[in-house]
Amino acid sequence: MTSPVVDLAVETKDEEASPRKEKMVLIASSGDLDKAWPVLILATTGAAYGMEVTVFFTFWGLGILKRRDAGITGDDWRQKMLSMFNRGTTEHLKLSKLNFGGMGPKMMKDLADKHKVASVQELLEVAQEMGVKLWPCQMTMDLMGLSREDLIDGLDAPAGAGSAISLMKQAEISLFI
């Protein structure tokens, strides 16, 4: 996998040949359901506008990209504890308020099913189909002891703040969620 910084350099050369696509960057730093949802709704809609969309998953947001069968992750005991209390994946995201010990997200998902609102998992799959780039934060991976194998397939190479800033300097829309 090439690094995102190299990719950006290659893109500039391609832009001379074809019209430049507008760029959108979303920084997904929250692992809450009510943040993951709008991140993916905005990402897929940005892609529907023909924009080149990148979502940078950092800190709690990285948990959204955990594989459902990852189990307990990490090397030291703090990282393992973190993985137990922060299960993540698209299935175990809490609400930022009215979580009610887990009842909140369950009720919210039931409402979503009833009103045919696409789930976070569905939106993530649609995003990947539409070519939305998903960048896992390398620093968060190191901090929380999450390896590439603990995360889902279809992700870009792990990136850092340097790549994120570089991309945001070029993007028409940048959002921190």
Partner 1 sequence: MADHTVDARGLQCPMPVIKLSQAIMTAQPGETVELISTDRGSCSDVPAWAADMGHALEEQFEIDNEFHFVLVRS
In the complex, least distance from residue 28 CB atom to partner 1, rounded to whole angstroms: 16
Q: Which is nearer to partner 1, 48 or 107 (CB)?
A: 48
Per residue, the 3-state secondary structure of the chain, as one string, reads: CCCHHHHHHHHHHHHCCCCCCCEEEEEECCCCHHHHHHHHHHHHHHHHCCCEEEEEECHHHHHHHECCCCCCCCCCHHHHHHHHHCCECCCECCCCCCCHHHHHHHHHHHHHHHCCCCCHHHHHHHHHHCCCEEEEEHHHHHHHCCCHHHECCCCCCCECHHHHHHHHHHCCEEEEC
Stretch that binds partner 1, among 63-71, 99-107, 116-124, 165-173 (CB under 8 A): 116-124
Selected binder of partner 1 within 13, 16, 17, 50 (CB under 8 A): 50
Q: Does 126 bind partner 1 (CB under 8 A)?
A: yes
Q: Which is nearer to partner 1, 9 or 111 (CB)?
A: 111
Q: Interface mask (CB under 8 A) for partner 1, residues 127-166, using x and -?
A: ---x------------------------------------
Contact footprint for partner 1 (CB under 8 A): 41, 44-45, 47-50, 115-118, 123, 126, 130
